[in-house]
């Protein structure tokens, strides 16, 4: 059994994660809202931005949603001219997804907001704290 003080400390950590994550997502959420888009659209733009030529399947694995859940917002982004798809050279069933210049603009706006938010926190906390943060997060992010 974990002792009671430690439990309080861990509860504090739970709340930090909860409130930090909320604060982290609500700025991009507000930007997206103005265009009638949601958080899924952001995740799609983000991952295509950071992994150009990702396939639909790759995106599904990253997002951990059903293909039906991905299909509608992805199609919407393509119709809006933010995402382009090219058949892969090696396997023509596969689509390589990329951001169009316009898609890059929006992605940069959204992700930029989050990067500035993180950068401000790292600046305030200091470099060693940033390293600690990354170390802990890396363990948390690892598959269970």
Out of 29, 65, 78, 122, which residue is the one contacting a copy of itself (CB under 8 A)?
Answer: 122
Binding mask 72-111 for a copy of itself (x = CB under 8 A): ---------------------------------------x
Residues 33-92 that bind DNA (CB under 7 A): 36-41, 55-58, 60, 64-69, 71, 73-75, 85, 91-92
Nearest CA to 60 out of 51, 52, 69 is that of: 69
Tokens of 105: 């603009």
Whichever of 42 and 95 has its CB closer to a copy of itself, that residue is 42
Which CA distances in Å does 135 have to 116, 117, 138?
Answer: 20, 19, 5
From the CB of residue 19, how many other CB atoms can be counted at a distance below 10 Å?
10
Whichever of 26 and 131 has its CB closer to DNA, that residue is 26
Nearest CA to 71 out of 34, 44, 52, 53 is that of: 44
Out of 68, 79, 92, 139, which residue is the one contacting a copy of itself (CB under 8 A)?
Answer: 139
Residues in the chain: 144
């Amino acid at each position: 059994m974990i002792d009671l003080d430690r439990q309080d400390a861990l509860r504090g950590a739970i709340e930090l994660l909860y409130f930090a994550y909320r604060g982290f997502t609500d700025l991009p959420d507000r930007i997206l809202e103005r265009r009638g888009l949601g958080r899924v659209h952001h995740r799609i733009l983000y991952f295509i931005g950071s992994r150009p030529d990702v396939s639909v399947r790759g995106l599904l694995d990253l997002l951990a949603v059903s293909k039906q859940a991905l299909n509608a917002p992805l199609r919407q982004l393509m119709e809006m001219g933010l995402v382009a798809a090219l058949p892969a050279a090696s396997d023509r069933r596969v689509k390589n997804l990329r951001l169009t210049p316009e898609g890059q603009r929006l992605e940069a706006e959204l992700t930029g907001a989050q990067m500035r938010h993180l950068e401000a926190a790292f600046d305030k906390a200091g470099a060693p704290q940033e390293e600690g943060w990354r170390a802990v997060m890396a363990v948390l992010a690892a598959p269970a």
